[in-house]
Amino acid sequence: MSDIKIIDLHTHTDNSQDGNHSATYMAEIAATNGIECVAFTDHCEVDVFYKDGFDRRATQSFFEVSKAKIAFDGKLEILRGIELAQPHYVPDLAEKIVNAQNYDVIIGSIHNLRGMEDFYYFKSFDGYNVEDLMNQYFDELLQMMEWGNFDILAHITYPFRYIYNICGYIEDINKYSDKVDELLKLCAEKDKALEINMGGLKYPINKPAPDLDTVKRYKELGGRLVSVGSDSHYAERIGFGIPQAYEIAREAGFDFVAKFNERKVSEFPIK
């Protein structure tokens, strides 16, 4: 187990609003901890791109990560990524952002429904029907998939951790199985990587997003690519949960995880 190579395709530097450490510091800690490959994927909320200063942050992130990539050449493989959230709400802008830099990997994610705040900021679900919100969430993921200019479909059960925090129960993905199946099928057809996101391990829910059964279902529906990410916002957390994510991938029948260089996929061994 000790010679297991760690790849982490979802991490945030201080060019994310909730990040803490510079790309170079994160790279130094990752290299010291024996990480093989890391993608820095700072937040880019496309629906509030100009309003919340993501235009400046995205540029800064790309060049900070580029500097780290050069500085750590031969010690740690660094991939230049971005977590593009709500891209299909403003598709022309999203297209522009993707083409603005020579990214290695683009993560597609949804943090908020249209006109609403990120689930992260929810204090209560009063006045909402959680099931309606989740149905809307999966509909938006389907639309994002139709837009399609990304490589990794991120944390498809993202709201579950906040539902657990606030309502105290683990939402049942099977209630949405028609939409989830459709989503997984599209993900497979379009040859995107389904992310096994371990960020939920930092939350009381303490679960990966999505769970093993969903990863298995994706495989059944023809899915060929999975990726793994800690969604870490601290240098010390890079690689956190990745061995467990490999286990999920293996149990679901995958014998490698996806790696991306200049958006071309390759196989990263997990055994």
Residue 109 in the binding site for Zn ion (CB under 5 A):
yes
Binding map of Zn ion across residues 200-219, x = CB under 5 A, - = no contact = --------------------
Q: For the CB of residue 110, give the shortest distance to Zn ion in the complex, in Å.
A: 8
Residue 13 in the binding site for Zn ion (CB under 5 A):
no
Question: Which range of residues in 63-71, 104-112, 175-183, 253-261 is near Zn ion by CB under 5 A?
Answer: 104-112
Residue 8 in the binding site for Zn ion (CB under 5 A):
no
Which of 35, 230, 231, 249 binds Zn ion (CB under 5 A)? It is 231
Q: For the CB of residue 112, give the shortest distance to Zn ion in the complex, in Å.
A: 11
Question: Which range of residues in 60-68, 78-86, 188-196, 234-242 is near Zn ion by CB under 5 A?
Answer: 78-86
Q: For the CB of residue 40, give the shortest distance to Zn ion in the complex, in Å.
A: 11
Q: For the CB of residue 229, give the shortest distance to Zn ion in the complex, in Å.
A: 7
The smaller minimum CB distance to Zn ion, of residues 151 and 231, is found at 231
Residue 45 in the binding site for Zn ion (CB under 5 A):
no
Question: Which range of residues in 50-58, 79-87, 90-98, 206-214 is near Zn ion by CB under 5 A?
Answer: 79-87
Distance in angstroms (rounded) separating the CA atoms of residues 238 and 231:
8
Question: Footprint of Zn ion on this chain (CB under 5 A)?
Answer: 83, 109, 231
